[in-house]
Amino acid sequence: MKVSAITPILNVSSVAASIQWFESLGWSHGFTWNAGGMMKPGEMLNERGEPTFGSVCSGEMQLFLCKDGQGLRGGKPARFDGDDDTGAMWLSLWLGSPADVDEAHARAVAQGVTVLWPPTDEPWGVRECRIMHPDGHVFRLSSGLGE
């Protein structure tokens, strides 16, 4: 098997709110879909209701968002029990430099995002911080230390 791309799907309680959360961190709105089909670009509500599926994009990367399906969500309220927490999806997002990790952390703090782990130079050769989506998904923001 040779994989050419991967698009994770996050189970979310609200596609619209999740898109707004990602936009606050610098991602862009990809598409939205509801019972009426594909919604107009940027649309979060129409005569068929809110989106039930959608995407967010950053550079060449894309995440799908599915309301109440296609995977697990973390507990309510969001929790963090260490590396063994299996209540939701964990994703490693690779940034361009350790300074980018610090910048992403600062933006997350400014936006009121739950920070689980501050930027730290880890023994496995990366600078990493961890943030949590409102539905409990954990994002490890990482960059190699280049040592």
Burial letters 42-60, b for 16+ CB under 10 A, else e: eebeeeeebbbbbbbeeee
**Owner of token pair 């933006």:** 107
Calpha distance 49→111 (Å, rounded) = 27
Average pLDDT, the chain: 91
Could you give the domains of the chain?
9-67 (no CATH), 90-144 (3.10.180.10)
pLDDT of amino acid 81:
58
The values of phi and psi at residue 18, to 5°, are: -65, -40
Closest CA to 91 of 52, 135, 53: 135
pLDDT in tens, 13-57: 999 999 999 999 999 999 999 999 999 999 999 999 999 999 999
Instruction: Retrieve residue 53's tokens.
Output: 């599926």
Residue 70: pLDDT over 70: yes
